[in-house]
Structure 1
Amino acid sequence: QDSQPCPHRPRSLGRLGGPEAPWPFLMFEPVSCTYTYLLGDRESREAVLIDPVLETAPRDAQLVKELGLRLLYAVNTHCHADHVTGSGLLRSLLPGCQSVISRLSGAQADLHIEDGDSIRFGRFVSWVLGPQEEGGLDSLNLREEGTVGCAKTLYHSVHEKIFTLPGDCLVYPAHDYRGFTVSTVEEERTLNPRLTLSCEEFVKLMDNLNLPKPQQIDFAVPANMRCGVQTPTS
């Protein structure tokens, strides 16, 4: 029997475990290669889900129920072009859950956030996950030198942030195209072929990628502008 964990099965991120860290689970959606992160507070049982996908929303909701968590927020890091968000469906599957997205995205949601805002669940704040500032850079794809080394819309902030965070800060990708699930800021600064460029070279490269359209963009973006399949109440 193969002892390797199934990449499509929710699994706990043990490196973030312990009483002073959130309860993190990593889920994978194979069509768009999207990672969804479930973060929960063991004491209050409050949780957030980051970047859910429509097709796997029932799986994510079931995991929330199995763990005895109360999902406060389904957070979209941006208006996705490669998949339809599961945040709308999760609002139906888990009453009390609110959809969240940046106000600048122009998309509908129950809660719009801006630069400097935070999402709290129990003792924790989303994006900063513990004393070592472990967290995720949605626009960073680990070691990627193909078509999507970083999300084009956020590349200025990516380059700035990756060079200001502590080197031992853990980073987790939004998508997996090469089998990497976790890295550190120092590893990416040293080994990511795009982040070894100067800021000026990096911006120039990202401005001239000439990428093909994502396969699902024509129906994903309009759906995501309406929070997926459900219309938010506000």
Structure 2
Amino acid sequence: MIFRQLFDPVSSTYTYLLGDPESGEALLIDPVYEQVPRDLALLQELGLRLQTTLDTHVHADHVTGAWRLRERSGSEIALADVVGAQGVSRPLRHGDRIAFGNRYLEARATPGHTSGCLTYVLDDASMAFTGDSLLIRGCGRTDFQGGSAEQLFTSVREQILTLPGDCLLYPAHDYRGITVTSVAEERRFNPRLGGDVDLGDFAGYMHNLNLPHPKQMAVAVPANLRCGKPEGEAPSQETPDWAPLTLRFSGVWEIEPMALLEHAAALQIVDVREAPEFIDRLGHLPDAKLVPLSQLMARIDELDRDRPVVAVCRSGVRSAQASVLLTKAGFGKVANLAGGMLRWKAEGLPVAPCSP
């Protein structure tokens, strides 16, 4: 099974990708709206097709990427039936299975943080995705969205901590950067729900947290009850329209050699190799401007910020870094030549004359 744990630094949200390599089918758990381009790029690079997005609950601290992913990939949206959210194509109840290829997740109702919390357990019980019902050495709050300390105590004790001790647990958030725990660890060390803690201990603790509401709650909850669909008209296409580009998982936009050839007249082509490489056997693209990567930031004012820029190097590695630097410097239209001059030359595309 293909498994990736992804992170959104703004909301400290973990998104989980599970894929079946034989069928190419994949699931995403708790996707974040702003991170959809990243997630789609990773799916493409791994050769996976997104079947379903699953949210563990209606989040109050970020907007789900479920609707946005469905618009881009046709994926189904799965969420607890009890929530009654608009746009859900797979309303889930306790015991339902969500398949991806030859594997599946089992949905377990674990209300308490909110009334619609689900935990997703992998078919062999080797891992489970607990949302906010059980965090690493903690748990989600219980004071809004139909939360209940009594329900959460029962949910965690009966549906999560009864899993095998070596079952790995992956939460929806961690604010310290810890990535995973296990059932055995949480049974023993969770200060709220482990050890000899009883319902009275737990409820007394939770009823006196006195936490402020999440800053994004007023925006996130209504949006998530629409599965992340924006109010009013949908946003315009976010893929750059100045050339056919592909977003890589690294966050860098790439342009294929033939596409660059077709659009070259409207672009600034910046070769970031060193001067001797510019005239070596690989040659360079016609009309390319030589600005070595080591000099790029010092010479950045030589470039027109209003025209798209394509960075080029030998293999695409240095030019990818140049693309990042240009984007950080405020250039809004930047791409990297996929495969660099090696691929350009291998495809037989025209180059400026080499030195004798």
Secondary structure at the counterpart of residue 15 of structure 2: strand
The letter for the 1-side match of 2:103 is F
The letter for the 2-side match of 1:112 is P
Deviates more, 1:190-199 or 1:220-229: 190-199
Q: Deviations over 1:120-165 (max 9, x none)?
A: 1111112332534321222211124xxxx33533623123334312
The runs of 5 or more residues in structure 1 that have no matched partner are 1-21
Cα distance between partner residues in 1 of 2:123 and 2:56: 20
**Which of 105, 112, 124 is the aligned partner of 1:131?**
124
Secondary structure at the counterpart of residue 184 of structure 2: helix
Who wins on radius of gyration, i.e. which is larger? 2
**Superposed displacement of residue 113, structure 1:** 0.8
What's the C-alpha RMSD, in Å, of the aligned pairs? 1.8
Say if 2:73 is the partner of 1:75: no
Cα distance between partner residues in 1 of 2:10 and 2:190: 24
**Superposed displacement of residue 215, structure 1:** 0.6
Relative to structure 1, the CA distance from residue 101 to residue 151 in structure 2 (aligned partners, 3 Å threshold; closer, same or farther) is farther
**Superposed displacement of residue 230, structure 1:** 5.7
Q: Which residue of 2 aligns with 1:213?
A: 213
TM-score by length of 1: 0.81
Q: Which residue of 2 aligns with 1:100?
A: 78
The letter for the 2-side match of 1:102 is A
Secondary structure at the counterpart of residue 121 of structure 2: coil
Relative to structure 1, the CA distance from residue 151 to residue 207 in structure 2 (aligned partners, 3 Å threshold; closer, same or farther) is same
**Superposed displacement of residue 103, structure 1:** 1.0
Secondary structure at the counterpart of residue 97 of structure 2: coil
Cα distance between partner residues in 1 of 2:207 and 2:84: 22
**Superposed displacement of residue 179, structure 1:** 2.0
**Which of 113, 132, 139 is the aligned partner of 2:92?**
113
How many residue pairs align between the two structures?
205
The runs of 5 or more residues in structure 2 that have no matched partner are 106-119, 232-356
**Which of 187, 191, 197 is the aligned partner of 1:189?**
187
Cα distance between partner residues in 1 of 2:72 and 2:122: 26
**Superposed displacement of residue 111, structure 1:** 1.6
Relative to structure 1, the CA distance from residue 224 to residue 185 in structure 2 (aligned partners, 3 Å threshold; closer, same or farther) is same
Cα distance between partner residues in 1 of 2:55 and 2:157: 21
Q: Which residue of 1 aligns with 2:334?
A: none
Higher relative CO (CA 8 A, sep ≥ 6), structure 1 or 2? 1
Q: Which residue of 2 aligns with 1:9?
A: none
Q: Which residue of 2 aligns with 1:10?
A: none
Q: Which residue of 1 aligns with 2:281?
A: none
Cα distance between partner residues in 2 of 1:178 and 1:192: 15
Relative to structure 1, the CA distance from residue 159 to residue 44 in structure 2 (aligned partners, 3 Å threshold; closer, same or farther) is same
Q: Which residue of 2 aligns with 1:19?
A: none
**Which of 37, 40, 43 is the aligned partner of 2:19?**
40
Cα distance between partner residues in 2 of 1:128 and 1:81: 23
* Percent identity over paired residues: 50
Cα distance between partner residues in 2 of 1:228 and 1:134: 27
The letter for the 2-side match of 1:140 is L
The letter for the 1-side match of 2:121 is V
**Superposed displacement of residue 40, structure 1:** 0.4
Deviates more, 1:51-60 or 1:118-127: 118-127
**Is the 1:173–1:182 Cα contact (8 Å) retained in structure 2?**
yes
Q: Deviations over 1:33-90 (max 9, x none)?
A: 0000000001011011000000101110111111111111011111111100001111
Q: Which residue of 1 aligns with 2:140?
A: 150
Q: Any runs of at least 4 consecutive aligned residues in structure 1 with deviations exceeding 4 A, and if so which? A: none
The letter for the 2-side match of 1:93 is R
**Superposed displacement of residue 202, structure 1:** 1.6
**Superposed displacement of residue 229, structure 1:** 2.1
Q: Which residue of 1 aligns with 2:204?
A: 204
